[in-house]
Structure 1
Amino acid sequence: MKKELILLGLMLGSGAVATRAQKLVIGSRVPDLKGVAWSTLPPRTEAPMLIEFYAPDNASSARFFPKLAEIQHRHGNGNRGIQIVVLTRGVAATTLDSLRARYGERYFIGSDPDGRVYRAFHVQYVPYTILVNSKGELYWQGNLGNLPTSTLEGVR
């Protein structure tokens, strides 16, 4: 009996953590990007955005740049194409300068110096990706490696 109670407590506790980490709901309005220090021009709010929460010291984050380039090439053209936004949290200015020099013509790059935007989006880990439609609603969230092409094609 004691083992069953312990297992039940562990299951309930882990479920509470998972629920707390995912407070954004598909179809709900996403928080704005106020507070971001942009290294490039800010993205347009009337077009879809793929927001990649990025940490330069995280190897998993860095390996997604080729996938971002592919998405930009296939889905980012024109005024209604998907805008790629790369957000960092509290990184050095030299890191932002390096990102801007390398990707600034293709992506919108910004820093969240005090973590306010990360908290508003409930980012618990990186890399973390969200896809926002042109109405500012959450369309998809998760790991960029799991983002289906059909989802990218369906966002407007």
Structure 2
Amino acid sequence: MKKTVFVLLAALAAAAAAGQNIALGERAPEPKVQCWLDGRQPAEAPMTYVEFFHSASRNSLEAIRHLQRISEKVGDRLRIVVLVHEPEEKIAPLLTPYLSEHLGVGCDPNGKLFTAYDVRYVPFGVLLGPRHRALWMGNTLQLTPEIIEKSK
């Protein structure tokens, strides 16, 4: 019975990971956004982390806090772009406190980037290197500064 449950859980995890439309090492869509929350675009950096956010997910907000802590450790080596496709008036009270030189919230009102990345669950993010090649992807709460350092 335990073996059956384990196999079922492993299959579900693989299916969820396969749902994303990005391949490691391949070029990913550039995170071009229509507007920036509070007009604050994050500074350029050698690597970009694209985080997909939805206010209905409690884990999405925890992922933003996690990214803020990572940003404090890696500094100007990482640019964090949080993408939202909800109205600005809804997400501004939640995300404005996390804006910084390295973390910005980009508006994707039509969800084009969510579709381009085939996002099916949040928190989900993609670490991009130079030329927008995918270096790491997955549940943002599993991202560590060590993963970022190894991905250079």
Q: Which amino acid aligns with 1:93?
A: E
Structure 1 gaps of 5+ residues are 1-13
**Aligned equivalents of 1:22, 1:57: Cα separation in 2:** 20
The Cα shift of 1:98 comes to: 2.4
**Superposition RMSD on alpha carbons, in Å?**
2.8
Structure 2 vs 1, CA of residues 146 and 97 (structure 1 numbering), >3 Å: closer, same or farther? Answer: closer
Partner of 1:83: 79
2:100 to 105, 108, 122: 105
Structure 2 vs 1, CA of residues 36 and 125 (structure 1 numbering), >3 Å: closer, same or farther? Answer: farther
**Aligned equivalents of 2:14, 2:98: Cα separation in 1:** 38
Structure 2 vs 1, CA of residues 45 and 24 (structure 1 numbering), >3 Å: closer, same or farther? Answer: farther
SS of the residue aligned with 1:32?
coil
2:126 to 123, 127, 130: 130
**Aligned equivalents of 2:74, 2:14: Cα separation in 1:** 36
Moved over 3 A (4+): 14-20, 40-46
Partner of 1:29: 27
**Aligned equivalents of 1:21, 1:111: Cα separation in 2:** 23
The Cα shift of 1:132 comes to: 0.5
Structure 2 vs 1, CA of residues 27 and 48 (structure 1 numbering), >3 Å: closer, same or farther? Answer: same
Partner of 1:11: none
Please list, as runs of the form range in 1=range in 2, the aligned pairs for 1:18-97 lying within 5 A after superposition.
18=16, 21-39=19-37, 40-43=39-42, 47-77=46-76, 81-89=77-85, 91-97=86-92
Q: Which amino acid aligns with 2:96?
A: A
Percent same amino acid among aligned pairs?
26
Between Structure 1 and Structure 2, which shows a larger proportion of helix residues? 2
Structure 2 gaps of 5+ residues are 1-11
The Cα shift of 1:27 comes to: 0.7
Question: What is the number of residues matched between the two proteins?
Answer: 141
Q: TM-score normalised to the size of structure 1?
A: 0.75
SS of the residue aligned with 2:131?
coil
